[in-house]
Amino acid sequence: MKTLKALVIASTLLASTSVLAHTFNEADKAIKYRQAAFTMIAGNVSEMGEMLKGKTDWNDAIFAKRANQLSELSLMPLEAFYVEGSDKSKTNALPKVWTNFPDFKARLTQFQKDTSSLASIADKGDKAAIRKAFGKVVKNCKACHSDYKAK
């Protein structure tokens, strides 16, 4: 229920900023956009993780749906990091994002590849393969958070 509530809130935020996807002209709009995308990413990862840990009932269709949504969502945040001034506001993004942008971008690009792979595997329903692919996604998340996100 907690995850569902977070997804609803994030969906609302994302819907209110979706027009900004190609028209960022203010740093605060870009920040809100990427934060909404990351909130949605976290919601999908959380729900899939709960299924894999047995905290919620396994459901092939729901897992595949969340994996596919995650893959689509992974494409969203990067463009909002390019907006001038979006590194100046108070966010959880560390300055290192911009001072080491090639590495940050490479990690986010790898995250996109990993989530795409997870979506393909989830559609086939092989739980062992799903678990392995999900592990790669989460490992990627944690590594990027360690280096580029304030605790």
Question: Rounded to whole angstroms, how far apart are CA atoms 68 and 122?
Answer: 8
144 assigned to a ligand binding site: yes
Residue of 7 and 121 predicted with greater confidence: 121
* Confidence (pLDDT) at 2: 55
Give the tens place of pLDDT for each residue, 73-88: 999 999 999 999 999 8
37 neighbors 73 (Cβ within 8 angstroms): yes
* Confidence (pLDDT) at 26: 87
141 assigned to a ligand binding site: yes
- Structure-token pair, residue 12: 């609302």
Give the tens place of pLDDT for each residue, 103-120: 999 999 999 999 999 999
3 assigned to a ligand binding site: no
Average pLDDT over residues 117-139: 96
- Structure-token pair, residue 118: 């997870």
All domains in the chain, ordered by first residue: 27-148 (1.20.120.10)
In the predicted structure, residue 53 carries a pLDDT above the cut 60: yes
